Each structure stands twice: as C-alpha cells, then as structure tokens.
C-alpha cells in the first residue's frame, strides 16, 4: 500500500509539473499533495504509538480476566468492551473472530503477529504464543509479559533521550566551531 501511495504521489507531481500554470501554483499544489501524504503517515505513526502504549495494558487486563476465572474467549470478548485505541481494538476484534471460527488461541496470536507492523508487539505475540503452547499459569504469563513490555519501552525511551542529548550537544559544538572559524576569518 505504501509503495502504491508514493507512486501515485510521484505521478501526480509529474502531472502538475507538466501543466501550463504558474510556478507558484505548481509549488502550492505539490505542497498540498505532500501535506496529504504526510498526514496519512503521521496518522499511522500516532496509531502505532497508541498501540505500543496500550498493548501492556491489554495484556495486564487479559491476565486479570483470566485470573478471575473467565475462559479465554470470554475474556477476549470482555476486552472488546474496553477502549485500547483504534488499531488495538481492531486487532482484539480480529483475535476474537478467529477464536470464534475455531482457530486455537496460540495460532490466532501467530496470525495476529503477522499483521502487526511494530516489532516489539510482534515479538511479544510470538513469545506469548510459544509460551502458551508450553503450558503454565496463563494469567501470570500475561501479567509478567505486560510488565516486561512496559519496562522495555521505558528503557528504549530513556536511551533515545540520552542519544538526543548527545546529538544536540555535538551539533552545538559543530556550530560553535563553525562560528569561531567565521569570526577568525573576519
């Protein structure tokens, strides 16, 4: 889908450039097309962030429902009443519908992992599927994976903030050196 959208954008840009209109109007039309494309990617990015933030909450809630004694399909159906964000709600509905059609939960998780584009969520779903096959306390498994996912996301954010600080300091040093060189030549 992404490649098709980019090709359509390039084709429309080419068409606009070949039109016999003023240069300012051409630039305005291309900027408008680019802003529409950017908004689409920004919307997907926001939905992915929302999915990544709400996924540990979903796992924790699923563990709580299983802990109180609900069977897995009933717990998933109960989770459909909660709001975890647009994308995660669609994935929960997909998971529930697969279970309704008789697909085992671990296979449904693997099918869902194929659909999810976020690496952390996909890996967590695969790990969860493999661990459910091995057996054990499912409620404890969901809750501990939720906590692990939450902690790993916090560590990733902390590392990213450290890298941002270093990159800003290096850029500042670079511009300071350029400024000193400019002053010495003046």
At how many degrees (to 10) do helices 86-100 and 23-67 cross? 50
Q: Is this prediction's pTM over 0.85?
A: no
Q: Is the pLDDT of residue 20 over 90?
A: no
State pLDDT tens for residues 27-68.
Answer: 888 788 888 888 888 898 899 889 888 999 998 999 899 889
Contact yes or no for 112/125 (Cβ under 8 A) = yes
pLDDT at 18: 78
Task: From 103, 76, 107, select the one nearest 89 (Cα to Cα).
Answer: 76
Average pLDDT of every residue of the chain: 86
Residue 15 token pair:
């068409």
Q: What is the mean pLDDT of residues 70-78?
A: 88
Contact yes or no for 13/28 (Cβ under 8 A) = no
Task: From 79, 84, 117, 83, select the one nearest 95 (Cα to Cα).
Answer: 79
pLDDT at 107: 92
State pLDDT tens for residues 95-142.
Answer: 999 999 989 988 998 999 999 988 888 988 898 888 888 877 888 888
């Amino acid at each position: 889908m992404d490649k098709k959208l980019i090709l359509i954008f390039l084709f429309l840009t080419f068409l606009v450039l070949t039109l016999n209109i003023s240069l300012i109007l051409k630039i305005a039309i291309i900027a408008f097309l680019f802003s529409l494309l950017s908004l689409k990617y920004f919307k997907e990015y926001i939905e992915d962030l929302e999915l990544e933030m709400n996924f540990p909450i979903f796992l924790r809630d699923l563990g709580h429902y299983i802990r109180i004694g609900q069977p897995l399909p009933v717990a998933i159906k109960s989770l459909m009443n909660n709001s975890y964000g647009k994308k995660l709600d669609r994935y929960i509905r997909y998971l529930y519908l697969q279970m309704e059609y008789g697909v085992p939960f671990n296979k449904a998780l693997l099918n869902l992992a194929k659909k999810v584009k976020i690496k952390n969520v996909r890996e967590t779903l695969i790990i969860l599927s493999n661990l459910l096959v091995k057996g054990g306390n499912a409620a404890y498994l969901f809750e501990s994976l939720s906590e692990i996912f939450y902690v790993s996301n916090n560590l990733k954010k902390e590392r990213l903030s450290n890298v941002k600080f270093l990159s800003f300091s290096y850029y500042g040093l670079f511009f300071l050196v350029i400024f000193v060189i400019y002053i010495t030549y003046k």
